[in-house]
Amino acid sequence: MIDKLMNMLEERENEMIEIRRYLHENPELSFKEEKTANYIADFYKDKDVEIVTNVGNGYGIVVTIKGGNPGKTVALRADFDALPIKEEADVKFKSKNEGVMHACGHDAHTAYLLVLADCLISLKDNIHGSVKIIHQHAEEVPPGGAKSIVEAGFLDDVNAIFGIHVLPLAPAGTVGYHSGYSFNGRAYFKLRLQASGGHGSSPHKANDAIVAGAYFVTNVQTIVSRRVDPFNAGVVTIGSFDGKGTFNVIKDSIELEGDIRFSNEETKDVINKEIHRIVKGTEELFGVTCELTYEPDYPPLYNDPELTAFVADTLEKIEDKDIKEVKEFPKMAPSDDFAYFLEKVPGSYFYIGCTPKGVEEPYFNHHPKFDIDEDAILVAAKSVGHVVSSYLAMDK
């Protein structure tokens, strides 16, 4: 079956590229991907599968391919939302939706999985078990789509889940993996600080919100340097300090927004505790009132060590002209809501090199000039195809 599957994927490489380019030209933002979802659903029209649309808290789609023989159930996921970025990449299939761009590779993810799923449907009589294809909406914007898909019960009968992300950290043909904690978790906070305003000439008659806010900004930077285990990763970023006023007026209130990243649950708890403590201290020290909104977004992504070793071993043993190197990648600082799937069932999220040919310093994901080597799409399809076929064949 694996040989047949690989041949089918090779024959349909151009189709994958065409799908990717169509999606790239027609990007839609998170939770607004109605046309993209319709395009995906239409792809499965009249095929011998079970399809559920509008899954979770948005336009998610779950397609179930039931094999001709009993066995385990494995899930595969690809995300399909885009970003609010004006495209600057010099490509012929540039975004037609001004200010919206597939700058993270989700178009490539969806393209490979659509064709891989279709090939698996053609071979379903040979499959031992079932394959759930999860086309996920809204990966980029919390609360994301993954958590709602899990809560809707679509992983309740799943034994393992796999997914990939294209990354310009290596050329096409390279597959990367990392075991254990692999992507950071993240949280969001907003702090509204209320003091009392006044004239710039008479600070003793006012209570300066900007001074108290500046103290808070400086103090939260000590959390990572003095409270987090140095062997764990943590980041606290103040991305917005809204204190705009007039030069001779003491501000009575300000609003801050921040981004938090953490490599594991221990670090998450430390940062959460310390920010709340510093807020209370700021109130006491400056005599101000603070209103804190603290929202955990995505958990840290944990790749099951056993299944990640299975992925690496499977891909290292095969002889495939398109999969040229399999190697361990470092931990990744960004976050991905695939982590919610991995909290529910064991699995592995691995990486597909996509550095454009001839480029020494590629633009990374989320850059307005981000682009990929489209050879990576076939590599993604083949890699996941090998993994899912080998996994389902283990117990037959």
Q: Which of 28, 33, 79, 81 is catalytic?
A: 81
Q: Which of 28, 79, 139, 337 is catalytic?
A: 139
Cα distance between residue 63 and residue 131, in whole Å: 8
Q: For residue 181, which phi and psi values (nearest 5 degrees)?
A: -65, 120
Burial of 66 (0-12, 13-18, 19+ CB in 10 A): middle
Q: Which residues of 104-124 are buried (b: 16+ CB within 10 A; e: fewer)?
A: bbbbbbbbbbbbbbbbbbebb
For 199, the 3-state DSSP assignment is strand
Helix (H) or strand (E) holding 136: strand 128-136
For 134, the 3-state DSSP assignment is strand
* DSSP string for residues in 290-315: EEEEEEEEEPPEEE-HHHHHHHHHHH
Cα distance between residue 137 and residue 156, in whole Å: 19
81 is a catalytic site residue: yes
Contact 153, 379 (CB under 8 A): no
Longest dimension (CA), the chain: 82
259 is a catalytic site residue: no
Give one word for 99, left, alpha or beta, with left for phi > 0 and alpha for psi -120 to 50.
Answer: left
CB count in 10 Å sphere of residue 138? 25
Structure tokens at 44: 């499965």
List the catalytic residues: 81, 139
